[in-house]
């Protein structure tokens, strides 16, 4: 079969699988027995591997790998604050060099194309580490950067970092006034119109934008401009009647306002923004449990006079050090975030579905740890839901301001799989979580990740926001996880659950797939939605389920696995459901097919065989490909535990059957209570 090529990148697409009609054949009993035996053996090995990776406190956490902008910006921050040290710089540079591609570029995901802003930041970081601009690897990078338009063509955030050192002019950047902090929540473009990750970044950046600091650059960057004499060519204005044109003209007006802004008002706005930042610092010193807001918050407070020994600053810098992963070769990688709650609930589900007893000490310890992580105080979400009692879970070790709906749903599903010694405590925690998730439903019946109705069309139009998602609209994957959780809790017929189901059915693509917001991509969305719909009572014969099954069978790879490249977010027609087979994506497809009643199909047999055949001797799988997302296409994630938890879940369900099927069929919740009595608050 001839592979096709995506002309925009030159990357070769994998051959398509056999037609759906060819893969849907029912397997023979003898073949099924052999596959079942291989699956059982792989399940045992994967179970032992995952159990061995649990922390003594009860949690699991895999590395969260993104791209070298995290490492480059860490070095730039240290240079700006004057706290660079030789060992850290050497280790970071070792990692950055190791990620460079043969053409001199750096990509944002494994096997992806070179990315301009990432390559610029990596290049500058290596210059700071002492790499000479005429060294072969540096010359290749600078030549490629110039060919793509140079620094002038990079994203705003990259040019902000360069402006801190005088490598770019502040006046050539979009204006972001600190007076934004005063906008009430009913005014367009108030800070709560932004997704929580963007909000936490924008508030400190208003201070940086107002201060416009410049630290002396240790070297020029003329080699990164197409024309060093004119590094910032004028950008064409969009038509005034368009939204882009309107916001460009608003930005010009804000540049004028900067010159006449009352000093007392601006000073007060910056101080208010600083209080907002400090109030949201977590107990571990970080902000939101993620690296970018922490970096910009430290810079903003530093510019307002907070010295590096101030408790807020000291705690913030110490928290950033905890994002560092030191590798055996001496390289130092920076995680953008850490995912212990997410990893722990997924690991618990995987082990339980693989047949580990519900009262196994390690599952009980995991449940204890998750119970201790429940957030019982209001956070920023309460701006939109002031009367809703708290009860969610966050993604990270410390992020009480921003629990998320996805983690909360999956933690509840995990806790339901554990037989805990204090069932009353578990019931109360689950009740709080269910009530909070129900209260976070958006008006269209679906759920976003962190906020309610975070769907304003304006933030994405700002000239400042040219990178990634800055709003948090409902998504199919999050909504599916909530619907599945509600069904397990006996709320499948609750009107709120039915609205979520109706939204999911309306969101199905013509192909039969669902878009994946937080995982790559249509395989993840479909792998999330089908089990949820089945859990909520839709039969495997439902037209939506049949279309999903047909689509999954049609995109199965020739080797029996499934894979989907990040390019499917940008080049939908060419890349949807296409990519090298991966353990996590194969598992997602299998989880959907098994839920749909396709256990005996040829597609499932081939998928299970692929997982069993690609498992390592120690029970793990290798997966260099990025199958998670922060922002679709713009910011990709390789969750190092995905390659373990999802294959184990799929194998376990193949060997032991679908979880909770018996309780649902009997009309009872997983605790044995009648469904009508299982409803939480």
| Residues designated catalytic | 406
The Cα 537–Cα 364 span in angstroms is 30
Tokens read off for 367: 């449940």
Length of the chain: 681
CA distances from 160 to 80, 206, 292, 613 (A): 12, 12, 13, 48
C-alpha distance from residue 592 to each of 85, 483, 533 (Å): 50, 15, 10
DSSP 152-174: GGS-HHHHHHHHTTTSS-GGGS-
> Whole-angstrom Cα distance, residue 144 to residue 653?
48
Tokens for 626, please give them.
């990025």
d(CA 177, CA 192): 16
Three-state SS string across 549-612, please?
HHHHHHCCCCCCCCCCCHHHHCCHHHHCCCCCCCHHHHHHHHHHHHHCCCCCEHHHHHHHHHHH
Contacts of 403 (CB under 8 A, 6+ apart): 375, 379, 381, 390, 392, 393, 394, 436, 450
Residues 6+ away with beta carbon under 8 Å from 655: 36, 39, 40, 43, 354, 355
CA–CA dist 469, 58 (Å, integer)? 33
Nearest to 6 by CA among 100, 146, 111: 111
Q: What is the DSSP letter of 471?
A: S
């Amino acid at each position: 079969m001839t592979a096709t090529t995506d002309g925009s990148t030159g990357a070769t697409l994998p051959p398509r699988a056999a037609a759906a009609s060819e893969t849907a054949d029912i397997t023979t009993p003898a073949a099924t027995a052999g596959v079942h035996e291989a699956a059982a053996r792989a399940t045992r090995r994967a179970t032992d591997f995952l159990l061995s990776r649990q922390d003594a406190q009860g949690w699991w956490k895999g590395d969260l790998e993104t791209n070298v902008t995290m490492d480059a910006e860490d070095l730039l921050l240290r240079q700006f604050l004057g706290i660079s040290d030789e060992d850290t710089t050497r280790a970071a540079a070792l990692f950055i060099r190791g990620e460079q591609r043969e053409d001199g570029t750096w990509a944002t995901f494994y096997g992806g194309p070179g990315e301009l802003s990432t390559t610029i930041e990596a290049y500058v970081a290596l210059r700071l580490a002492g790499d000479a601009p005429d060294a072969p690897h540096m010359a290749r990078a600078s030549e490629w950067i110039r060919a793509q338009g140079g620094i002038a063509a990079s994203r705003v955030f990259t040019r902000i970092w360069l402006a801190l050192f005088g490598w770019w002019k502040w006046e050539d950047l979009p204006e972001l006034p600190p007076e934004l902090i005063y906008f009430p929540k009913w005014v367009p473009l108030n800070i709560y119109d932004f997704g929580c990750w963007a909000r936490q970044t924008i508030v400190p950046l208003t201070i940086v934008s107002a201060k416009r600091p410049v630290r002396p650059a240790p070297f020029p960057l003329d080699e990164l401009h197409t024309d060093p004499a004119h590094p910032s060519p004028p950008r064409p204005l969009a038509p005034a009647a368009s939204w882009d044109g309107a916001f460009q003209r608003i930005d010009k007006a804000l540049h004028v306002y900067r010159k006449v802004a009352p000093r007392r008002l601006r000073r007060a706005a910056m101080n208010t923004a600083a209080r907002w930042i400090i109030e949201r610092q977590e107990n571990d010193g970080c902000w939101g449990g993620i690296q970018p807001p922490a970096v910009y918050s430290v810079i903003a407070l530093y510019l307002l006079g907070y010295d590096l020994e101030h408790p807020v600053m000291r705690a913030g810098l110490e928290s950033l050090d905890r994002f560092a992963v030191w590798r055996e070769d001496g390289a130092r990688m920076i995680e953008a975030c850490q995912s212990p709650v997410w990893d722990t609930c997924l690991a618990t589900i995987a082990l339980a579905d693989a047949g580990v007893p519900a009262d196994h000490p390690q599952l009980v310890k995991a449940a204890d740890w998750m119970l201790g992580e429940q957030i019982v105080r209001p956070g920023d979400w309460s701006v939109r839901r002031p009367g809703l009692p708290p009860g969610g879970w966050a993604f990270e070790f410390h992020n009480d301001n921003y629990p998320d709906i996805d983690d909360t749903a999956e933690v509840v599903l995990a806790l339901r799989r554990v037989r805990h010694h204090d069932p009353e405590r578990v019931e109360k925690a689950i009740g709080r979580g269910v009530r909070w998730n129900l209260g976070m439903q958006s008006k269209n019946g679906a759920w976003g990740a962190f906020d309610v109705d975070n769907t304003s069309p304006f933030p994405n139009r700002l000239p400042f926001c040219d990178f990634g998602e800055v709003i948090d609209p409902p998504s199919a994957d999050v909504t599916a996880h909530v619907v599945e959780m509600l069904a397990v809790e006996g709320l499948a017929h609750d009107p709120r659950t039915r609205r979520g189901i109706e939204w999911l059915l309306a969101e199905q693509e013509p192909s039969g797939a669902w878009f994946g917001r937080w995982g790559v991509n249509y395989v993840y969305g479909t792998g999330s939605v089908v089990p949820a719909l089945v859990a909520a009572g839709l039969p495997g014969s439902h037209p939506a389920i049949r279309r999903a099954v047909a689509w999954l069978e049609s995109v199965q790879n020739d080797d029996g696995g499934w894979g989907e490249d990040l390019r499917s977010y940008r080049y939908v027609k060419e890349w949807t459901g296409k990519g090298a087979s991966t353990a996590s994506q194969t598992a997602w497809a299998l989880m959907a097919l098994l839920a749909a009643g396709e256990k005996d199909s040829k597609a499932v047999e081939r998928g299970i065989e692929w997982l069993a055949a690609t498992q390592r001797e120690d029970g793990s799988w290798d997966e260099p490909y990025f199958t998670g997302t922060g922002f679709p296409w713009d910011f990709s994630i390789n969750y190092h535990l995905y390659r373990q938890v999802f294959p184990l879940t799929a194998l376990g369900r193949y060997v032991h059957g679908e979880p909770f099927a018996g309780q649902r069929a009997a009309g009872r919740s997983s605790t044995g209570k009648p469904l009508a009595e299982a409803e939480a608050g």
